[in-house]
Structure formats: structure tokens, C-alpha cells
Structure 1
Amino acid sequence: MEVFTFDRGERQVTAYDSVGLHATQVARFTERAKARCLTLAPGGIIGTHPAVSHQILLIVTGSGWVAGGDGARVAIVSGQAAYWEPGEVHTTGSESGLTAIVLEGGPVTVFEPEAG
């Protein structure tokens, strides 16, 4: 067993005119699947860009908004996730800040909630 901290914010990201974004590589599961922790400062934005693969953004803390190619903002909060297909243009922003885990790779199946 290994216990480690994943929210280290090791690398500032400015690609695609991103502002207030820090990223930490967490793990690579295969050549095509990886996990990354992102922190977005209050007022921050992950600039508009195409998804390089299947991408799931899991909001761990905080809240913000996500948008697809049409630019329409959809509110997102802790406990929710957004999914983008390869090549899909998207943007993420937050007025109050957020922490998210990004899972990238594919192919992927997004599960419906399980019946309790």
C-alpha cells in the first residue's frame, strides 16, 4: 500500500489562455488512461480547447461551470461530473474556485446511477 497527496498543484497551466489553473499528474493506468488533479483559483478559467481523448471532469470541491462547443455555460458543483468526447471543444470556469479530478483515456463507458 502507498498513501500519497494528489492535490499538490505542481504545474501552473496557461495553455489555451487558462488563468488560475494548476495541475498535478496522479497516475497513468495504461498507455491510454491517466488521472490528473486540477485546482482552479477563484475567477479562474480553463481555456477553450478540444478534448484529446475521452475526458471526465469530477468536481471534488467547490463549484463552477462547464461549456461545450456552443459556449453555453452549465453550472456544476462538488459531486457532479462533465464528460467530453474526443475532439469536443470545451471550457471550464469558476467564480469561487474548485478542485477536480480529470480522467482521460478511452474508450469509456459512463455509468448511470445505481438503484439503491
Structure 2
Amino acid sequence: MEFYKFDKESGKQISKFNSNFIMSRIIQTNKITNIGCMHLDRKGIVGYHQAVGPQLLLILNGEGYVRNEKEEYFKVEAGDAVFWGNDEWHETKTDVGLTAIVIESEELNPASFMPLKNH
């Protein structure tokens, strides 16, 4: 399990085409990629299971806790990204609710675009 940041501070200013915004790059793929949005209400949980492929969880709002095969939970909040490798056991849960984007693809390499988060 690896932790990354995609918050505003990890992005870059874009001014091309008379633009004025911050872009936090996340991932680039050439192979089939599945992207979904998860909505966990209060006390929501994505039960402990094995990843069917590399998976990137991007916390958009709210907060929660994640773990891998170890019993230790790590707090995550908006702007955090969690990466689990192929076949890695993991779980996500929240007390207050959270919304997250999930990206699944054989060729995910989040370190190419996002800075690691110190945990």
C-alpha cells in the first residue's frame, strides 16, 4: 500500500490557452482502465478483499481509514490517494462518510505523476 497526494499544493499552474488553474496530474494509461466513483455514507465500508488488479483510490471529500493485509488502519482525507497492487488485500471504511474515485488498470504507476505522502 502506498500513499500519494493530489491536492492543490501538489499541482502545477496552467496558463496555456489563456487559462488560470491548478492541475494535479494523477495517472496515464494506454490499456483498458476502469474508473468509478464510490459514495460511502456514515459507517460505510468496502469490505476486506483482494484487489483484482492494481487499484488507485482518490479521496475527494470526507475522511476514512484504509488498511492492507496488516491490521493497522491509516487515516485518509480529501486530496489523498491510496495505491494497492495486484492481489493486495485491502479495506476502506469511514465513520463520517466519504466520496472517492477508483481507478483500476494493469498499468497504473501513480509515482510517475503524484508525490508520495509522508505517513
Q: What is the root-mean-square deviation in Å for CA atoms of aligned residues? A: 1.8
TM-score by length of 2: 0.67
Partner residue, 2:103 = 103
TM-score by length of 1: 0.69
Stretches of structure 2 that go unaligned for 5 or more consecutive residues are 1-28
Q: Secondary structure at the match of 1:39?
A: strand
Matched residues in 2 for 1:50 and 1:32: separation? Answer: 20
User: 3-state SS of the aligned residue for 2:87?
Assistant: coil
Which structure has the highest strand share of the two? 1
Q: Residue deviations 1:2-57, cap 9 Å, x none?
A: xxxxxxxxxxxxxxxxxxxxxxxxxxx87631100000011111100001111000
Cα distance in structure 2, aligned partners of 1:52 and 1:78 = 25
Letter in 2 for 1:60: L
Alignment of 1:1-116 (within 5 A): 32-111=32-111, 112-113=114-115
Higher Cα Rg, which structure: 2
Contact 2:31 2:107 in 1 (8 A): no
Identical counterparts, % of pairs: 34
More helix by share: 2
Structure 1 stretches lacking a partner, 5+ long:
1-28
